[in-house]
A and B are shown apart, each in its own frame.
Chain A
Amino acid sequence: MTTSNINGRDTLVDADPATPILWALRDTLGMTGTKFGCGAAQCGACTVHLDGVAIRSCVTPMSEAVGKKLTTIEAIGGDKVGKAVQNAWVAHDVAQCGYCQSGQVMSATALLKGNKKPSDADIDAAMAGNICRCGTYARVRSAIHAAAATLA
């Protein structure tokens, strides 16, 4: 049993504190927007924000989130930057199969929160941990630039 602020609400999570945040979200709370891709912090599909920092929820236990703010794909649209990223994602038709895109959106949002006008090299560095097997990277890149422009 742990308590965290999840998407703006203090939430009691009925899971062992050693359970990775990913499984507490998906299986305990039924929030399936955050995806399981590798279970080893290799693919980024499970990316969420912990106190504003992008983390891999598949390897981070709930104990790390006690008393902290967790933000997931379900709520990132309530954030100005997150909303701009999602709008750009839709306008640029980034998604193909779409399975990795929750993680891509969360990583891109974290990037733009810390860097208002990222270069291609900044994007490479920030997004290298998010695998997309469909190969949507070209549109991920243009959508990030577009989102940055709308926020400027």
Chain B
Amino acid sequence: MHFDSDLQDLASLLPKGMLARAERAQGATKSGVDEGLARRSFLKLSVASGFALGVFPQSALAQEGKQAGPAALKPFDQPGAFVHIAPDGTVTVTINRLEFGQGVLTALPMILAEELDADWSKVRAVHGDADPAYVDPAFGMHLTGGSGSIKRSYTQYRELGARTRAMLVSAAASQWNVDAASLRTENGRVLRADGQSIAYGDLADAAMKAPVPHEVALKDAKNFRLIGKATNRLDAAAKSTGTQSFGMDMQLPGMLTAVVVHPPVFGARLTSVDDSAARAIAGVKAVIRMPTDRGGEGIAVVAQGYWAAKLGRDALKLVWDTSAVEKVDSVAQLASYQALSKKTGLVHFKADVSALAKAPKKISAEFTFPYLAHAPMEPLNCTVHVTGQGADAKATLWLGTQMPGFDAMAASKVLGIAPKYIKINVQMAGGGFGRRAVPTADYVVEACTVSKMAMAAGLNDPIRVMWSREDDIKGGYYRPMHVHRAEIGFDAKGKVLAWDHVVVGQSIAQGTPFESFMIKDGIDNTALEGMRDPYDVPMRLSVHHPKVNLPVLWWRSVGSTHTAYVMETLVDEIARATQQDPVAYRMQLMGDKHPRHKAALMLAVEQSGYGKRKLPKGRAWGVAVHESFDTVVAYVAEASVTKGVPKLHAVTAGVHCNLAVNPRTVEAQVQGAALMGLGTCLPGAAITLKDGVVQQKNFDDYVVARMPDMPRITVHIVPSAEPPTGMGEPGLPPLAPAFANAIAKLTGKTPRALPFKLT
């Protein structure tokens, strides 16, 4: 299959500005930012993809003609697609993002309920689908990513709540025959001056027939009752009692389960297949030879339940032909990356680095970062059911996904069914960290291929395609491996005279529909984001993007997973080399700029007792601060090294995310991201290849952080009333460098590789 090229036409439908940096330039924390672009994009997407009016009659599209005002409100501004108020007063809010741990299933309803003056105890939330109403209003596509759910839907959800409230007030005013301006709202009721009131549930029918107001006044932040208040998650009970259903838990009448053998080397094909033993396994319904990702071949075993499918797969006797594909070897790859890093690549930042030759002090450093699997706890899965034939065919998909619109397009291409007859039911996802936002839609394409070929084999039942953990660890789409090389010249006071920096790593966007606007002059910014900032140093930054037969993908905090480590350990090293306190040195480098960085850093410093509190013998402080996705996180770490084994004991976080919508979630996201960052330090946290074959298979040989690794983490948030920025990713990048800086202080040597190598 040549899926990449098939999807290229979608690129023209996507808006510019997918890059975090471009988005920052637009100032995307306000809604309305770049609305013209977003709305144009939406219109194009809706026309081209066939998501036409009437396909989703429950959506706001049906309301579009009803409102007064100069121009129609867009579907993503229509309350009808987002709020449902039942007669008993239950308010159900539809979220336009995937909930996969980050807490948007609670935070987005909080934002809407604030302006609605809803009774929070009656608020519930559900996932949206691939309806045009649920696009990201800034990007015009369905997207959960870039830590942008709250950032880019904050004003949208406030306005949705305010519009709904105005419609309820209007309905009450009609009923009472009074002026709407004389009414107020509180806790799910409209009240009038004499003390009478009507519950929202009793007004909802009339209210939803009222015109949708264009202009609505939003609350003054000082009157917030919900936004900014630590609030329990709406999904806490379901997720503590086993009643929460995930994509993996799909149960449909007659549903079959399929597992797919992927080629041992990416893109390899089959020479011979002996499936006689597999077909003999009780419960196996079909064994299907099928095209897989990257031009490869594989075998799907379709069976009643996972265990039969797995036994069938284990019984296959397959011979592979890997002669036509590149076989990656990690040792050779590292050597070639190291060689490349000694040459200047495509230049991203220009600077005169001639001062390097005569600089009084120098640092010459090489860093290595491995491939990393996302390994979300819920393995990938996608359930597909096709009904009808020919022009009457319709498909329904159930899956956890960060890009349902994209997946609908992919399903359409594979199944040969028009997009308007593809229904995507977004399921609660057990983590993702980027793995459910795949430009090639690999696991959706695979599931649709299985479904299509199974139908050709006479199986018309819904099929759930499941990945095992081994499929997941070996399945590619990793955080790319990187080598960084830095040559830094500075003086005795730590003034950087010249910094020559080369990055080597695969481009994530290359060859995807995102390429046209994420890659500029051959440079993929996802490999470089986080470099240099916030330090005004004369850095020449260049990059090499080698092509490797290994699919790569964004992994929680993307480029900052390595750039923060490099920047923050090198800056710390300059401070130590010039006998300066690392915090004071950073503050001096930032000068009178970067107030959010400085506020986050100083909050972490104050709260940790850094420099004031005496540490137990054998422990040292380590500091790092980094901005990613518009949020700044600073860590002050407390660590020790015993017999060559580093241990992280405590972490104090200073966070600047502007207004914290739900401080309880902000705390959780920082704790969790910090732990994932710590996980990247642990020996064994690496994907390596030999003869093109991934050497790891499960959690026994691909190491992730566990309970005993958990340090004490306290989280402090800088107070702010500015529109919120994201929290899903920014807690990750500064953890590893803060830990490394403490190790360097204890041992005199900065670890130059992740994961740490024990000595």
Contacts and interface: CB of A to CB of B under 8 A. Distances in A.
Interface of A: 15-16, 19-20, 23, 26-28, 30, 32-40, 42-43, 45, 72-74, 77, 86, 89-91, 93-102, 105, 123-125, 127-141
Interface in B223-280: 232-233, 235-246, 248-249, 251, 257
Contacts of B101: 96-98, 134
Contacts of B103: 96
A131 B671 contact: no
A114 to B, nearest CB: 17
Interface residues of B, number: 65
A74 B242 CA distance: 6
A135 B673 contact: yes
B239 A95 contact: yes
18 contacts: A26-B306, A27-B257, A27-B307, A32-B242, A40-B699, A93-B233, A96-B103, A98-B430, A99-B378, A128-B706, A133-B377, A133-B433, A134-B431, A135-B673, A135-B675, A136-B668, A137-B710, A138-B671
A131 B704 contact: yes
A142 B102 CA distance: 20
B428 to A, nearest CB: 7
Contacts of A102: 242
B42 interface: no
Contacts of A90: 232, 236-237, 240
A136 B431 CA distance: 12
B136 to A, nearest CB: 21
B431 A27 contact: no
Given A77-B241, A90-B237, A98 B248 contact: no
A7 to B, nearest CB: 11
A131 B378 contact: no
Contact of A124 (B241, B244, B282, B708): B708
Nearest to A28: B305
Contacts of B733: none
Contact of A96 (B304, B378, B672, B706): B672
Contacts of B246: 35, 99
Contacts of A36: 248, 306, 379, 466
A134 B264 CA distance: 29
Contacts of A93: 232-233, 236, 664, 668
B242 A128 contact: no
Most B-side CB within 10 Å, residue of A40, A100, A137:
A137
A72 B241 CA distance: 10
B240 A139 contact: no
A94 to B, nearest CB: 7
Interface in B655-676: 664, 668-669, 671-676
B102 A96 contact: yes
A133 B678 CA distance: 12
Nearest to B257: A27
Interface string B34-72: 000000000000000000000000000000000000000
Contacts of B249: 26, 32
A106 B100 CA distance: 22
A128 B704 CA distance: 11
B110 to A, nearest CB: 14
B242 A34 contact: yes
Nearest to A137: B710
A87 to B, nearest CB: 8
